[in-house]
Amino acid sequence: MKSFDAIVIGGGQAGPFLAARMVEKGMKVALIERKFLGGTCVNAGCMPTKTLVASARAAHVARSGAVYGVNIPGEIAIDMKVVRARAETVTMNARNGLIGWFAGMDGMTVIYGHARFEDPKTVSVNGETLTAPRIFLNVGARPVIPDLPGVNDIDYLTSTSIIHLDTLPRHLAVIGGSYIGLEFAQMYRRFGAEVSVIEHGPKLASREDEDISDAIADVLRSEGIDIHTGVSDIGFAKSSDGITVATDSARIDASHVLIATGRKPNTDDLGLDAAGVITDTHGYITVDDRLATNVDGIWALGDCNGHGAFTHTSYNDFEIAAANLLDGDDRKVSSRILAYALYIDPPLGRVGMTEKQARASGRKIMISTRPMSRVGRANERGETKGFMKVIADAETKKILGAAILGIEGDEVIHGIIDAMNAETTYPALQWSVPIHPTVSELIPTLLGDLKPV
């Protein structure tokens, strides 16, 4: 049996950085990764997909050149092999960077294999047994495949496998109208495929307010994406030239099907029962406000604990654990203000409460909206789709939440994120003097238009 000061299971966006901090403190650490260092973000999520989004935007801008007085003769052709290779290069550079970083650390042992608990302080991997007083789980999540008629009879794609496509689908059917599915839908439409989005719920991006969801749908429809919402029945069958997707309202002749109906945690084969670690009904590891499980000496970080499922929230889990365990601090998950983005074009930046949540909270609230068509930078760039929205507490004057669907919305939202984290009141932010011409310069104007509801 090999002994360590700590064992980290999973090489995503929390565990490796925590392992590195512990090594800096002179600890002996084992980092166990089943497949690739970097987790979903580096290998099948943010980095490859946003690289693909950039290629798709380049194609869209090239096709739109004439609007700006830039005439490109001939058809804009897409070389999917180059597109795929570019995304793969970005992934490999990041993954190899992590490999090199850890190789140079004394006290760090990286083990590739499938770890399972033998007891609360012991895990087995590759026929070896390891023990440590502290064990951290950072095992991530994977796409979930719903039990739909015929789904096992077709060669479907997931968000993991689609990034390896080096040919262009004739018609891509996207099952699921949430964040992952919508990004791939617009991306492949811009590459030149016909695209249909099929969503069980009544609207796209169901977490958002109805006006945001409607605006997202308008953006996608304007680019020729076929959207079906409120679909109650769906089935699949192989056809002579692809896959038939049959719903209660339509029949789609697809060449490829992407299943994007959610993710589930990679916790079902870790031997958690042997350690006594509790999970909820969906398989997420139950943790307290400081990320500790019910078993002393075991923590769960990142997607597998159900508190965020984003790269930035996973990294923040590392920050919380490191601050509490290594720096004598007392940081909590409940102090985190959730923010995220939807990377369609234009992107959606979101932070805090939606209008629906704010109304349900019983607070006296104020709301302001402003169309992107009123933003100078948006008009100069010819990208005026979308709008800004902010919700504030009428009594405390604090900002409760905001949504910016529009050009650079994923960056502009950070002005609101910073203000909320600093607990700045909206009147103070309203009197800032922003740079012109930018998208962010409209934030004070947006705040100045807050009206009670």
User: Are 20 and 126 contained in the same domain?
Assistant: yes
User: Are 122 and 12 contained in the same domain?
Assistant: yes
User: Are 14 and 130 contained in the same domain?
Assistant: yes
Residue 264: CA count within 13 A, CB half-sphere: 12
pLDDT grade for 40, boundaries at 50, 70 and 90: very high
CATH code, domain with 441:
3.30.390.30
Please state, rounded to an integer, the average pLDDT across all residues of the chain: 97
| Position 93 in a domain | yes
User: Are 63 and 108 contained in the same domain?
Assistant: yes
User: Are 115 and 33 contained in the same domain?
Assistant: yes
CA distance 325 to 56: 43
Residue 6: CA count within 13 A, CB half-sphere: 28
What pLDDT was estimated at residue 309?
Answer: 87
- Give helix 15-24 / helix 80-103 axis angle, nearest 10°: 20
pLDDT tens profile 346-383: 999 999 999 999 999 999 999 999 999 999 999 999 99
Phi, psi of 57 (to 5 degrees): -65, -40
User: Are 223 and 293 contained in the same domain?
Assistant: no
| Position 36 in a domain | yes
pLDDT grade for 249, boundaries at 50, 70 and 90: confident
- What is the DSSP code (8-state) at residue 398? B
| Position 179 in a domain | yes
Instruction: Tell me the residue type at 31.
Output: L
CA distance 304 to 283: 8
User: Are 238 and 288 contained in the same domain?
Assistant: no
**Could you tell me the residue range of the domain that residue 412 belongs to?**
339-452
User: Are 395 and 355 contained in the same domain?
Assistant: yes
Active site positions, annotated: 436
Q: How far is CA 186 from CA 78, 155, 181, in A?
A: 15, 21, 9
Of 13, 41, 42, 46, the C-alpha closest to 343 is 46
Domain edge (last residue) among 261, 277, 303: 261
Average pLDDT over every residue of 225-243: 96
pLDDT tens profile 172-196: 999 999 999 999 999 999 999 999 9
- What is the DSSP code (8-state) at residue 384? -
Helix (H, G, I), strand (E, B) or coil at 241: coil
For residues 137 and 270, is the Cβ–Cβ distance under 8 A? Answer: yes
Determine if residue 276 is left, alpha or beta; phi over 0 gives left, psi from -120 to 50 gives alpha, anything else beta. left
Residues 6+ apart with CB under 8 A from 295: 120, 275, 276, 277
| Position 12 in a domain | yes
Average pLDDT over every residue of 12-38: 96
CA distance 17 to 320: 12
User: Are 257 and 270 contained in the same domain?
Assistant: no
CA distance 112 to 392: 48
> In the structure encoding, which two tokens stand for residue 154, read together?
């077709």
CATH code, domain with 239:
3.50.50.60
Domain edge (last residue) among 306, 335, 364: 335
User: Are 278 and 391 contained in the same domain?
Assistant: no
Q: What is the 3-state secondary structure (H, E, C) of 74-131?
A: CCCCCCHHHHHHHHHHHHHHHHHHHHHHHHCCCCEEEEECCCEEEECCEEEECCEEEE
User: Are 290 and 312 contained in the same domain?
Assistant: yes
Instruction: Tell me the residue type at 296.
Output: D
pLDDT grade for 158, boundaries at 50, 70 and 90: very high
> In the structure encoding, which two tokens stand for residue 267, read together?
């916790």
| Position 146 in a domain | no
Helix (H, G, I), strand (E, B) or coil at 285: strand
pLDDT grade for 388, boundaries at 50, 70 and 90: very high
% pLDDT > 70, the chain? 100
pLDDT grade for 308, boundaries at 50, 70 and 90: confident
Residue 417 predicted with pLDDT over 90: yes
CA distance 250 to 381: 37
CA distance 352 to 417: 8
User: Are 221 and 256 contained in the same domain?
Assistant: yes
Domain edge (last residue) among 261, 291, 323: 261
What pLDDT was estimated at residue 286?
Answer: 98
pLDDT grade for 32, boundaries at 50, 70 and 90: very high
What pLDDT was estimated at residue 103?
Answer: 92
- Number of separate domains in the chain: 3
